[in-house]
């Protein structure tokens, strides 16, 4: 097992895929994205679109530099308010996806800088996004919508794996109000299904402020005799500025 994949022994679990591979699941609370990237523990990031005092907000400066993007002009933003036009920076793309987009869309931003540590960043909608409102039925107020969390996670992983060759993925927890076990379970299920159908994944690193139940859930999955199968969902993609905007088409979800 590669040394750079293990950051802290007490916060590591190993997921056994149905292909017979061992995938390291890290939960290195307290490590910055810079450290994770520079050590080679992650080669891309999948993050929800909450900016500001959030994981994305804390990572934004490093991600912008590493990927070769400009940052938003915060002075102009504060004086003029939210601009109507989309800008090619992480803050603008995240706000657009969160507040203006009513379709479930992944924003996949590849690195444009030679020598960058990361291959790209994928911005994903989550439970505070405009597009989530159609899934937030009364029965899901106390817990997340399983299909939403699962498919957003699975398709983000699939894009990073297929288009960028990523094998060591850093991931945020897709819940607005702290860590939610059901959300983590959906994310681990998507990881388990993807790794059971695709060879060569090395690790997933959960980059949260606090310890979630990810490692416990991984151990539970290892004990299961049947983890189910992935049901494909249709997607359509548009490229602009070299960025892929991937829509998930829920009406085409296979039965």
172 or 1, higher pLDDT: 172
Distance in angstroms (rounded) separating the CA atoms of residues 28 and 134: 34
In this prediction, residue 49 carries a pLDDT of 92
- Say if residues 143 and 184 touch (Cβ distance below 8 Å): no
Mean pLDDT of the chain: 87
In this prediction, residue 52 carries a pLDDT of 75
Highest mean pLDDT among 44-48, 87-91, 214-218: 44-48
For 129-154, give the DSSP string.
Answer: SGGGGGG--GGGSSS--HHHHHHHHH
- 150 conformational bin, left if phi > 0, alpha if psi -120 to 50, beta if neither: alpha
pLDDT at 65 over 60: yes
In this prediction, residue 14 carries a pLDDT of 95
Each residue's pLDDT tens digit, 111-151: 999 999 999 999 999 988 999 988 876 654 567 889 999 99
In this prediction, residue 177 carries a pLDDT of 58
Domain residue limits, the chain: 3-252
Distance in angstroms (rounded) separating the CA atoms of residues 126 and 111: 23
Q: Which CATH architecture has domain 3-252?
A: 3-Layer(aba) Sandwich (3.40)
Each residue's pLDDT tens digit, 73-121: 654 554 455 556 788 999 999 999 999 999 999 999 999 999 999 999 9
- Output phi, psi for 122, to 5 deg: -115, 120
């Amino acid at each position: 097992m590669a040394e750079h994949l293990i950051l802290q022994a007490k916060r590591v679990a190993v997921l056994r895929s149905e292909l017979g591979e061992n995938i390291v699941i890290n939960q290195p609370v307290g490590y910055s994205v810079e450290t994770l990237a520079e050590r080679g523990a992650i080669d891309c990031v999948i993050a929800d679109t909450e900016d500001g005092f959030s994981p994305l907000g804390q990572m934004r400066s490093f991600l912008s530099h590493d990927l070769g993007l400009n940052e938003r002009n915060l002075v102009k933003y504060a004086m003029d308010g939210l601009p109507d036009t989309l800008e090619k920076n992480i803050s603008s793309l995240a706000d657009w996806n969160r507040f203006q987009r009513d379709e479930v869309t992944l924003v996949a931003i590849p690195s444009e800088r030679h020598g960058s540590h990361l291959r790209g960043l994928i911005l994903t909608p989550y439970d505070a996004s405009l597009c989530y409102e159609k899934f937030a039925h009364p029965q899901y107020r106390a817990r997340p919508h399983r299909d939403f969390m699962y498919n957003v996670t699975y398709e983000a992983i699939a894009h990073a794996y297929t288009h960028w060759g990523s094998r060591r993925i850093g991931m945020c927890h897709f819940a607005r109000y702290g860590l939610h076990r059901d959300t983590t379970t959906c994310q681990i299920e998507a990881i388990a299904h993807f790794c059971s159908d695709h060879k060569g994944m090395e690790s997933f690193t959960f980059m949260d402020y606090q310890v979630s139940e990810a490692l416990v859930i991984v151990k539970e999955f290892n004990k299961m005799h049947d983890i189910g199968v992935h049901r494909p969902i249709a997607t359509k993609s548009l490229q602009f500025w070299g960025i892929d905007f991937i829509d998930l088409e829920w009406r085409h979800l296979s039965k």
